[in-house]
Structure formats: C-alpha cells, structure tokens
A and B are shown apart, each in its own frame.
Chain A
Amino acid sequence: MFLYNLTLQAPNAINQAILGNFSGTRQQELIVSHVSRIELLRPDTTTGKVHSILSHDVFGVIRSLAAFRLTGASKDYIVIGSDSGRIVILEYNPVKNVFEKVHQETFGKSGCRRIVPGQYLAVDPKGRAVMIGSVEKQKLVYILNRDIAARLTIGSPLEAHKSHTIVQYCTGVDVGFENPIFACLEVDYTEADQDPTGEAYRETEKMLTYYELDLGLNHVVRKWSDAVDRRSNMLVAVPGGTDGPSGVLVCSENYITYKHIGAATLTVPIPRRKDPLENKKRGLLIVSGVVHKMKSEEGDLYKVTIDYTGDTVNEIKIKYFDTVSVAAGLCILKSGFLFVASEFGNHQFYQFGKLGDDDDTPEYSSNDFIPKDDGTLDVTVYFKPRPLENLLLVDELASMSPLTDAKVLNLTDEDTPQIYALCGRGPRSTMRILRHGLEVTEMAVSPLPANPTAVWTTRLTADDLYDQYIIVSFSNATLVLSIGETVEEVTDTGFLATTPTIAVQQLGQDALLQIYPQGIRHIRANRQVTEWRAPGGRQIVRAATNSQQVVIALTGGELVYFEVDESGNLSESNVRREMSGNVTCLSIQPLPVGRRRVRFLAVGCDDNTVRILSLDTSNILEPLSMQALSAIPESLVMIDMPDQITAGSLTTLYLNIGLQNGVLLRTVLEQNTGQLSDTRTRFLGARSVKLFELNMAGNPAVLALSSRPWLSYQMQSRIHLNPLSYEALEFAASFTSEQCLEGVVAIAGNALKIFTIEKFGQVFNETPIPLSYTPRRFVVNPVHKSIAIIESDHQTYSTLEKKKKLKELGFEAEEEEELDPVVFGHSRSTPGKWASLIRVINPVTGETTFTLELEQNEAAFSVAILNFAVEAGDMFLAVGTAADMTLAPKSLSSGFIHIYKFINDGMALELVHKTPVDEVPHALLHFQGRLLAGVGKTLRIYDLGKRKLLRKCENRSLPNCIVTLHNQGGRIVIGDVQESVHYASYVAADNKLVVFADDKAPRWISCSAMIDYDTVAAGDKFGNFFVNRLPQKLSQEIDEDEAGSKSVGKGYLHGAAHKLDLMAHYHVGDILTSLTKTSFVAGGREMILYTSFMGGVGIFIPFQTKEDIDFFQTLEMHMRNEMPPLAGRDHLSYRGYHVPVKGTVDGDMCEQYNLLSGDKKRQIAEELDRTPAEIQKKIEDMRIRAI
C-alpha cells in the first residue's frame, strides 16, 4: 500500500495574527498563521470584506509571528518563530504574489523543545532588533540593520539566557530611539526545586524583567527586574518615545498594572460580568490585547485609556467596550476595523461604529484603587454585558475549528456525497453540511414570460464601466432589458425584437451588433442601422465576436469574416472558407486592450474536430492546427490567463472545449504558431458542456455549464476547476453593475438569475445547523435517515441546574433578561459540572426534531445506532454517559448506557432504560444484533433486557481505555486511548472475546476506521496518521481456527500473541478527528478522507501503479531540494515528526511544483525525463481523481 496525501481544505483555525504593510503600499494587511500554513489577508476597507491573497504551506509548526519595519522604510517584514530551530525573516513580493525568504539563521535543534527558542517573539517597535525566546532559559537577540544597498541584514545572535527560568511572555518595549528593551515575564524555579517543605515554591515570585540591548557594546544586559503577581500572564507595551510614556501593562488575573523603570505602579481592576451565577473564586484573565484594547477569556473587549503628561502616567482607566468571540489574535486597523481571530469558530471582521466614549458604561480608574502591600489588588468591579454597541460585524471568515467528528454520507441523494461535520464549541457549535462546490450568492431572480434560449449583457460604448443592457433571446423573439436602479424592458434600442438572436457585441467605439439567423444588425450610437443579409436560402448558425472582429458560420459550414474599419463600419473580408463539416461552435481570441486585431479563431465541427484558423491579414482563415476529439464539440472559449510566477505581463492562451458528452478539455494554444498542446480532460456531467467567459477576482475565468455549473479560474498560480453549489443553468453571461462588479446573469428554466461568487479557493460550501453544547459524536439512522448528535459541555450549568441555582439565589428566571448564549456563552459553572443533550436532526430540512437534555450532571460521550435481535423491527440508539465526572483526577459516580427507541419515523426518541456501568463508556457499537461496549478498559457484549441491558460476555485484558470500536463479521478492531489498535475476534462457540493481535508501538488513538477486513487506518493525538495490517496468512489461520486456541496463543511482549504490520505512517500536523473510506467522485476510486481538529479536510489516495509511486517519490525528493519549506523546517523530518514517514507521498509538497520558476521546473522535469507540462498534468490528475 502506498498513499498520496492531499489537503482539500486547509485547517482554518488561526493561532497568530499580525498586522502590517506587507505589500509596501499604504494599505494595511493581515498575516495569519494556521499553524502549518501562512496566509496573507487583505481587508477591503470600502466593502469591509477580507480577501485571502496568498496562502502557503510551510510544513512546520508556526508558533509565533511578528512584523517589523526598518526605520524610515514603508514595508514590513515578517519574522517567524517555528519548530525549526531557526529564525526566518520573510518578505512579501506583491508582484509575484509569493513570500520570499530573506534570512534564515539556525540556532538550535528542531522540534518544539523546552529550551529551543521559537515560542516567543518580540520586536523592537523601531525595527532595530528582535528577541526570540523559548519556554525555558534561552533567549536570543538578533540585531536588524540595512546594508549599503538598503537590504536587510541580520546580526549574529546575542544571548540573554537565564537558566532555571520559565518564561510566560515576551514583548518589545517602546523606548523611541534609545537602546532597545525587551520585557519578559519570568519565574525562577531554582529555589523551589531545592526546598522539600514547599515554602520556597510558595514564595517564588514572578518577575517582570527588562533586557536591554546595548547597541554600542553589542550585548544584552538584564536592566531591571520587578516582582509582579504570580498570576500574571501577559504584557502589553505602551507607546513610548514621542508617542507616549513607554512602559508595559502587566495583565494579571483580575487586574491590570502599569509598570516601567522609575515610574509609579498603577493598578486597575478588570470589570467582571454581572451574573448571578458567577463563580467568585475564579479569576479573570486577559487573553489578548493591543494598545488600548484588551480581551478577556469570556470574550469581553475592554477599552483601556492611559492618561499621561510627558513621561509620567497619571492614571489608567478601563471600561467595557463590547463582546465578541474569544480571540487568539486581535488586530486594529488604522482605517477603523477590528479583526478578531477566534480561538474556536469563525473569525470576524468588525468596523468601529463608535469609540465607546459617550455611553453610560461605568469606567474604572487606577486612582480609585490602592493595591495591597504586596502589589495585588483584591476588589471586584462589575459591568453589565450588552449586545454590540460600538462594533459592527462586516465580514466573517469561516473556520470549522474545532471539528470533532465527521462522516461522508449522501443523505439527500445528490450527485456527490456530503460531509457532515460537527464543529465549534459551546453555544456557538454547529453541524455543518459540506458540499463540494463554490458558494454562490444569489442577487436576484426574475421570471420571464417564456423559456429563454440565451442571454447576453452589453455595454453601450467602449468606455462604459458597467453593463447597460441585458438581452434575452427566445425561440422566436428577443427582449432587451436596461440595467439601472431596476431592470426594465426597453424597446427603442435598434435591436430586432421579432427574431431570436445568436450573438450580441459592443462593437468599435460606440456601436452595437446583433447577429440573428438572417443577418447582422450594426446599430450606431445615433440609432442608425446597417444590415448585412445572409445570402439567400442560408442562415447564420454560429457567430464569434470581439469588439473589432466578427466571424459567422453559415449553414453548410461556410465561414465569413468581418472587421471594423477606421470609419467604424463593419467590412466583410473577401475571403470565405468552407469547413469540412457543419460548424457547431466558434470562438475568437479575446482582444487585449489597445489592440485592433487578434490572431486566432477556433472552429468546432460536427466531424469531431476543432481547428485553429488564422485571422492575420496575410492569411485570413488559413488553418493552423487541428485537434481530434472524442465527441462533437458543443462550445469553445479562448481565454488569456496570467502566468503569475514569471512576473510581468506574460499570459498563456488557453482553448477550452466543451464536448457534447459532458467532457471539458483545456488546451494550451501556442501564441506564435497556433499549435495546440498540453490537453487536460475532465468529465463534468451528463449534459453537453456550454462555456462562457467571465471575469472573476480580476482575472478571466470560464463558466462551464453541464448537469451542474463549474468554474475554471486561476488562483495562486494554479488553475482550479470547481463546481458551483447551484442549480443546473442553461446559458450565462457576465454581469457588471455598480452594485455587483463581478456577477453572472444566467438562465434556469424560465427564470433569469443574477448571482456572484465570492469565496474562491474554498472547495466546500457550508450549510450550518446550530447546536447548543459542544458536539461530541453523531450517528445516522440508516432506515429513517435522521442524525442523532450528542453534545456535552464541561463547567457549564444545564438548563435545569441553572433554574434551580437562580431560584436558590432568589432570582426569578423571568426577571433577568437572558443574554444570547451564542454571543456571551453559557454561564460558567465549576469543574465537574456538565450540561449535555441528545439531539435528533432531519438532514434534509436541517431542523432539529427532538432534543433531550440529560439531568443529574450526566454527560454523554458515546453513541451508536443498533437493532437488537430480540426486537428486530425497531431501531435503537445507545448513548454512553458518565455522571459527576471530573477530568483531573479522573473520577465519576457512575457510568450509564441509555437505550432509546426511535419513534415518529426516526425523528424522535423514547427512553427504554438506563443501565449503570462502572466506568465511562467511550465506545459503543452494534455487533451481531447486540451491543458491543467499551467501558473503560473492559470490552463487553450486552443484549436488550426488559429493565436493563444484560451482560453476555466480557474481556478485561485491554490496557487503558477503549475509545474506538469497529467490526466486520466476527472481527473487532479496538482503539485504545494510549496503546494503539487491537484486533479481537468473537468466538461464538465459547462465547468469548479474544484479543489476538495488537500494534508494536504505543499510539494515542483519536480516531480510526477499518479499511478492509485486515487493515485499519487511525489517527493519533500528536497529529499522525498510520495504517496497520494483519498479515494475510495469520488472518486466514485465525478465521479457520474456530476453537480460538490459535488466537489466544501465548502473550508476546506483554501484549497479544500476534503483532500488526505497519503499512503507512505520516505526520499530518493536526489531530485527526475522523477517517472515512469513501469515493467522492461518482464512479471514482476509493480513498481515505480525513478531517482534522483545526477544521481541515484531506485525503489519502492509494497509488495504483509502481511507476506512479516512483514518479511522485522522485518528484517529492526534488521538491524538498528545490523548494525547502518556508519556515526552515526540514520537510522529511516534519512528515516524520514522531515516526519516520512510511508509504506516503506528500501531495501538497508536489503541488508546490507549480510555484517554482520556469528554470527549476525544467530542471526537475529533465531529471524525471518529462516536460514540465507533463508533470503538472500528472499532479493535476491526482487531484482530479480525488474530487
């Protein structure tokens, strides 16, 4: 077995977000890190939308990001702290749209180690130095400068190590142009490690330490150190130099302190939410902050004002601002926007409506609070949370993180299966139904009197910015609609209304052209009409136009060519050409700006050919090349796509051919010779393919209409071909208006539809269904096609508990207006308290048809669908729960297995009974008409009894805790939380469960799936994927051995008698949460689809030939050499993070081949004995096979 890994949707959780002018323009941009991927986002301040400009996989762990700018420069550089043991400085090149590595300095071992820097980054606000620190001991300072050629230089590292010291946070202090200072929050554990009484540990202080880089002496000194609260977690630098008083704000639990050398300490409490259910003992942490805005762990945003004169701070004031989601990163743009990178769930982009100056929210000042002698502050102040008042949500970036479970199913009977994914946490949780396709925003739908056959849009003059007319053709009429405030019919346009239309074109400077079966109407701006009549008895069947050239095909296959002459008249060329068959389609090359003529015409004929003809004046309509096809061509479009990697204005001309058998071909047309080469083929659907040229995201794109619409567009140096999540369309045209710059107008049935596509590059579009608590698992009822979800939240009041508690405290539930939990979260309870429910969803309507909230502090952890042999007619749901569970140390009062019966056609549940068990049942499975349950480390078979489940069989030999269960026939695959997978068989004769094989290595299983009878694929908590297989011979022996003596055997190495073989091993970089063996394309090959915790979706495709394996392995090897990962991590050691890579090729790495320069592409291609185009085609084929 050999696998090819491809990411279909990269994880979209953000762990770092920075702001800067990375393009070197005045516009501020964002750079976010998705752990192993770095992405540049450009907010459009006029529309408030955030666009993804570039996303690059770095094959490493990005732990910290910082932006800096050299003094006097206008462009920001990016520093990356990663797991590579290197500091890397990147620059964004806006022309080529790539990140370029400027510097890479090695300082230590790779990996996220205790003393290897990379965890913390702090830059001097003036861009003179950067500090990179580790969790313990090591800190290095690099001096940044520029050389004579104004290039960035980096000095050798200066050490600021302090052993036995744990670092909590680092930041650069703004000191203007004095020596750069870095502030760190540190704890020294030397004393605590030596003192058995624990006294020293209690007295250990957390220190705020200033490290000064002496630029004159070129070394780093500890300049100043001051004790702060032990519960301090964060520092925020205060502007200095000419902009402010300098210093830092130390954020501690419950209060914020201002500190600086020689300055008075000022302290102000962090206001807490007024909530009757608040746990007063629990502190409140600030989790992220930038100057003037701080963010608590509940998601509340505070405004912090520092009042100062000269260098002295008089007071600091704090005030509640608004509530958004808890952020991993917070960026305030100068243009008045706020980007919130959420820890979990969608990221938001807000606009500041007000600054929160003039409302009645109480403001607290440091002058009113005197800290105790030890510097701590023990007061609590409150605010009343309210819906957004100062911020306005303008855009959202989808994030499926955390994705806890997913399945690939086709419950709604569509062309392709859907992915059902459980996403999010607490009240913001959703079940998202992912469909392969780009999201479409419908702008307008208007019914027409009859079924139209075609639609066009046109401008009136060459200078118009927007389209003015929509022209709709019916089988015997033409309708002209004018685009204004509303779309209205107009009659005095010069268009012939009593005939169908073949083509419409804005011609020359200000004329319009209508081509209809009997002739061509040339309509001048003064409504003067010139007609060209088709010769007697013959009709125009096809036409191709640009604003200077017109070609028509007459019945019988004759081509006539026209050109606009100097006086604006349409003059017919004296050359005509007879084609070998009837012309089925025509396309003319798009006219570049400023040119009067293009060279190529493509003609498709019913003899299954496409020919390229010349339009040069010297050899008009001379054939240049020909391509034979598998079916009659239905439609042709030629477009110029920019070649982004070779910077400049180079473009490649592509000919797209839609065939009547539903196949789309894309061929490169050589600009010099007119030869066709490098054909890519893709089957789109059952209907013949019609093609239309569009403009999408500033580049030309092709819309292909078959049994569903597809869009072929270029993004980040790759041509993408994705379906649209929209109904089948008959005809389409691009649509540009003031409201909608890049729209599409299309015909579906008798309706005219206008829509836009915004989220390019997102392979899946989502339909969310809201949930109440963090979803854990779900199952599908195969008979009624309903979905049952279990949701559980720790530290949360259940609805009942909340009511009870409020009553106890003397509040009536009605008294308090309920805050929307989706915004503010549920009231936090104490550890060991749970809220949990079981929900049934109808996937077709997306409605919740049934919910049942668990009482008595029970939380659900596992779920299974089953039918019992004793009651074969009914479907049952088994739910494994635990009561009064605490996480650390792990304890519970009792576990339970609930049995529910599906009623109301599977849309509701009815409790049958509850069976207490001794441990948490983490895995349940239907097994031969009975229930197989993993209860802690015990595997049991239960049967349905009248009052309880009846224990039938048990095996206690599993090591820790059973988390996953699968079976095929009598073979059971068990995943242990810590000890990898075990194979067991059920020996019916003896009523025994026998574990006969296990893995050679310990692995912390997070999900698993049986690929076939002998093979299991699984993911672990460290982000690895692996495949284990039972040797075939052994498998047969065990199946033949009915008595079970062979299976039991003698234990080997403290485990089962036999061991599994490792077939593949690969570090994905994110915790896998589900694995499914599926086929995504109708009739396509089977593959393994995985979802990961941070919201990623990817696949493993098995290779079929040895040649392919060799090819991709060699390509991967060359890619490692030619394009080493951006963050400095070695690719091979990243993919083999814990165990060396085995049997897997990294397709994401191979796809970066497209990003190489032409020279390198050729160089690698030569080594592989192929052409670059062949390699690119092979890479694309792998992706097409998958999706």
Chain B
Amino acid sequence: MDRANLNSQLEHLQSKYVGTGHADTSKYEWGVNQARDTYASYVGHYPMMSYFALAENESIARVKFNITEKMVQPCGPPPERRD
C-alpha cells in the first residue's frame, strides 16, 4: 500500500471517528479526548451515574447535566501554542 493512500485512509478515519490520534497529537488533545470519551461513557451507563449521584448526594439529572457540561472543556483551556 502506498503512502498517499495510507494517509488518506487515516484522514478518513480521523474525520469519521472523533478522537483518532495522529503523529502530532499533543498531550492536551490526548487528555481532552480521553476525558470526553470517559464522560460520554458515564452518561450512557445509568448505574454509574446513580453511583456518582449517591456519593455526591445530588439528583441523577444534575449529575448528568454536570458531566455533559464538563465535556465542553474537560481539561481547562488549551496551552499556548509554541511555534
């Protein structure tokens, strides 16, 4: 398989599956993707959310809201870009 084809396949994967890494993935991107994946999984697994809700003594809906909100920026603002 030639290099160009490989690249285009990779690009296709990256556009289709959010969070697919590439050679220049920064630590921040890696962390953000991991956090978003994790939070999405929490939201999908109801027992997990009720477990959190019990520990925090909050309603499950509030926990879900908080987690979904955190997905917007889970690891704080991105670092300054060094050129």
Chain A interface residues toward B at CB < 8 A: 13, 15, 35, 61, 63, 83, 111-115, 118-119, 134-137, 163, 166, 168, 187, 189, 192-198, 201, 204, 230, 233, 285, 287-288, 297, 326, 328, 343-344, 401-402, 404, 425-426, 774, 793-796, 831, 887, 1021-1023, 1069-1071, 1092-1094
Contacts and interface: CB of A to CB of B under 8 A. Distances in A.
Contacts of A326: 59, 61
A166 B45 contact: no
Nearest to B70: A166
A429 to B, nearest CB: 11
Nearest to A168: B68
B63 to A, nearest CB: 10
Contacts of B46: 13, 15, 35, 61, 63, 1094
B47 A1093 contact: yes
A135 B77 contact: no
A676 B61 CA distance: 57
B47 A35 contact: yes
A401 B41 contact: no
A83 B42 CA distance: 12
Contacts of B78: 193-196
A37 B54 CA distance: 22
Contacts of B68: 135, 166, 168
24 contacts: A15-B46, A61-B44, A61-B45, A83-B44, A111-B41, A112-B43, A115-B17, A118-B44, A163-B18, A195-B77, A233-B65, A285-B61, A287-B59, A326-B59, A343-B53, A401-B50, A426-B57, A795-B58, A796-B57, A887-B56, A1070-B47, A1093-B51, A1094-B47, A1094-B50
Contact of B57 (A288, A774, A1071): A774
A119 to B, nearest CB: 6
Contacts of B53: 343-344
B55 interface: yes
B72 A344 contact: no
Given A15-B46, A113-B40, A118-B44, A201 B61 contact: no
B66 to A, nearest CB: 10
Given A61-B46, A83-B44, A1070-B47, 6 more contacts: A63-B46, A112-B44, A113-B41, A135-B43, A343-B50, A343-B59
Interface in B64-83: 65, 68-69, 71-73, 76-81
A166 B72 contact: yes
Contacts of A112: 40-41, 43-45
B33 to A, nearest CB: 9
Contacts of A285: 59, 61-62, 65
Contact of A402 (B19, B50, B62, B81): B50
Interface in B14-64: 17-19, 32, 36-37, 39-41, 43-48, 50-51, 53-62
A714 to B, nearest CB: 32
Contacts of A135: 39-40, 43-44, 68, 71
Nearest to B67: A135
Contacts of A15: 46
A1099 to B, nearest CB: 19
Contacts of A192: 72-73, 77
B36 to A, nearest CB: 6
Q: In the A-B complex, list the 4 residue pairs whose CB atoms are closest, starting with the nearest.
A: A112-B44, A287-B61, A114-B40, A198-B77
Nearest to A62: B46
Interface residues of B, number: 39
**Residues of B contacting A: mostly:** helix
Contacts of A115: 17-18
B80 A196 contact: yes
B47 A233 contact: no
A425 B58 CA distance: 10
A297 B53 CA distance: 12
B19 A114 contact: yes
Contacts of A134: 40
B80 to A, nearest CB: 5
A236 to B, nearest CB: 14
Contacts of A13: 46, 50
A1000 to B, nearest CB: 23
Contacts of A796: 57
A765 to B, nearest CB: 24
A884 B71 CA distance: 29
B73 A201 contact: yes
Contacts, number: 142
A976 B39 CA distance: 23
Contact of B50 (A119, A168, A344, A795): A344
Nearest to B29: A193
A1020 to B, nearest CB: 11
Contacts of A195: 77-78
Contacts of B48: 1021-1022, 1071
Identify which of A166, A794, A1093 gathers the most chain B CB atoms within 10 Å of its CB: A166
Given A61-B45, A83-B44, A1023-B47, A344 B54 contact: yes
Nearest to B54: A402
A111 B53 CA distance: 22
A324 to B, nearest CB: 13
A344 B56 CA distance: 14
Contact of B81 (A196, A288, A328, A793): A196
A795 B56 CA distance: 8
Given A193-B32, A1094-B47, A887 B72 contact: no
Contacts of B18: 114-115, 136-137, 163
B32 A119 contact: no
A195 B54 CA distance: 35
Given A196-B81, A401-B50, A794 B44 contact: no
A118 B32 CA distance: 22
Nearest to A194: B78
Given A114-B36, A193-B78, A1071 B60 contact: no
Contacts of A35: 46-47
A611 B72 CA distance: 76
Contacts of A61: 44-46
Contacts of B39: 135
A136 B65 CA distance: 14
A793 B54 contact: no
Contacts of A1069: 47
A1069 B18 CA distance: 27
Contacts of B51: 402, 1021, 1071, 1093
A36 B33 CA distance: 28
B36 A187 contact: no
A1026 to B, nearest CB: 17
A1023 B18 CA distance: 26
Contacts of B43: 112, 119, 135
Contacts of A118: 44
B37 A114 contact: yes
Nearest to B40: A114
A192 B71 CA distance: 11
A113 B39 CA distance: 9
B14 to A, nearest CB: 11
B73 A1071 contact: no
Given A115-B17, A193-B32, A1071-B48, A328 B60 contact: yes
A870 to B, nearest CB: 37
Given A114-B19, A194-B78, A343-B60, A1093 B50 contact: yes
Contacts of B45: 61, 112, 1022-1023
A1064 B44 CA distance: 26
Identify which of B39, B43, B57, B81 gathers the most chain A CB atoms within 10 Å of its CB: B57
Contact of A233 (B55, B58, B61): B61
Identify which of A136, A204, A426 gathers the most chain B CB atoms within 10 Å of its CB: A136
Contact of A166 (B54, B58, B71): B71
Nearest to A826: B57
A195 B18 CA distance: 19
Contacts of A83: 44
B83 to A, nearest CB: 13
A653 to B, nearest CB: 44
A887 B62 CA distance: 16
